[in-house]
Chains A and B, each alone.
Chain A
Amino acid sequence: MGAALLIQAYVLWTYRELLLNANGPIPWALGDSWVDPVLPKLSDLLPLFSAAGLGAEAVVATVLAVHAVAAAFLMVGYRSRAAALFAWATFVLIKDSSPAFLYGVGAMMLIALFYCLLMPVAREWSLDRLLKAPMPGGRDASFSVLVLRMHLCIVYAAAGIAKAAGEQWWAGDAIWRALSLPQFRQFDPSPLLAYPLLLQALAIGTILAQLAYPVLVWTRARVVIVAATELMHLGIAIFLGLWLFSLMMIVLNAAAFGESVWKAISARWLRRPPPGAAASAR
């Protein structure tokens, strides 16, 4: 999660003149009109900076710098709760100041950051754990994992239903169109025209996988559907160039189901008994 935020912060920093500038292609005055006035925006900080003799560029640079530092802390799990708070607050500022440039990755990052505020994200593999810092929210993540799983079920059910309502998806045109759009195009898709059934199968397979996800993740088929979903996101990254979005979805799936899937794989193929099996056998 922290790594995904850092990658995004790097892109936003490098191209801030285009994507975040107060007088860019979408000036703040226009972008702000698309967002509820109550929601915090970069322009809200301008009077504060102006009082210190600084301009809009300083607002953008400061917020991005704080965001990047918070994302780095979140990535290594150092002062995780404070890092999540700063990463979330600065992300909301950035998101609400650049609504024209947002796509699915923004929605998924916001969901994940909000949960990072409340869930024990530093429970494992974190500097906080290493340094034995107090763990707000306790060490038991089972409730948090359940909530994240349910939210992912909503995400995939919604995505599946939305696709199922579109004629392009049943005809296979959706995959063809997505591969052909210049903003997603990674290779010349025209050889695929020789295999219309393949395009149709990929499209229908996507609908079915997304509709099946909320059901199958609660069954013994969890390993299969989670693996298929992770592979689908890898495919989206490779064939549509949506690396950041795919990284977010893979991370969220891994956070929700990774431990459980790994235990199942270990027990079945690596012949390792799941933890607690010996005790229950006694």
Chain B
Amino acid sequence: MRRMARRDKVIWAATAVHLAIAAFYGLHVRLEFHIPQALDRVLSIYGGLTGVRARFDFFAPEVPNEARADFLIVPADGAARRVRLAATPSGEANRRMALMFTIYAYPTERERLLRAWGEYMLRLHPDAVEVVSRVEMLEIPSVRDSAAGKRATWTEVGRATVRRGAEPGR
């Protein structure tokens, strides 16, 4: 049997390592808890360039709740008006926007998200002196509860005020 050329050996070894990383992360082994931080960072960067660090937990283990936000635009004079980010004709674009609101589920990011959305709305509405952002989460009952007549409901989970030229309040 012909001996494997050195180049082929390197390719096989690299491929084995590549797929092993994909398997560890894909199969939900929390490698980051068992390896040095520096190595974890290298793997994170490698994963960011190749996709091997993906966890493929689409809709799993639970189908997450959906979030949405609306904004109370308060002008210097005149009546305040409530607006949403307009739905686009593209389902793909709308889905990506919906995903953005879902990040609100991460407690560490809430304040920064509300501030970013408020500032964006201030840019969109030059007449506004203040924007009150409100985030709601959709609670979907189980199949059994839904069959018994319980309906999905939007529940407010957070709000924040951003004033033009000022730090955000709560």
Contact = CB atoms under 8 A, between A and B. Distances in A.
Contact of B98 (A30, A108, A182, A194): A182
A125 interface: no
B92 A163 contact: no
Given A18-B93, A26-B100, A36 B45 contact: yes
Interface residues of A, number: 68
**What secondary structure prevails in chain B residues at the interface with A?**
helix
A57 to B, nearest CB: 14
B48 to A, nearest CB: 5
A122 B141 CA distance: 49
Contacts of A7: 92
Interface residues of B, number: 57
A180 B120 CA distance: 29
Contact of B63 (A18, A36, A155, A177): A177
B4 to A, nearest CB: 12
A161 B57 CA distance: 9
A169 B57 CA distance: 13
B143 A196 contact: yes
Given A100-B103, A178-B59, A193-B147, A30 B92 contact: no
A104 B58 contact: yes
Interface of B: 11, 15, 19, 22-23, 26-28, 41, 44-45, 48-52, 54-63, 66, 68, 85, 88, 90-100, 103, 112-113, 116-117, 119-120, 123, 138, 140, 142-144, 146-147, 152
22 contacts: A18-B97, A19-B93, A25-B85, A25-B117, A25-B120, A27-B116, A30-B113, A35-B48, A101-B100, A103-B99, A110-B50, A147-B19, A154-B19, A162-B28, A167-B62, A168-B63, A176-B143, A183-B99, A190-B146, A193-B147, A199-B143, A243-B91
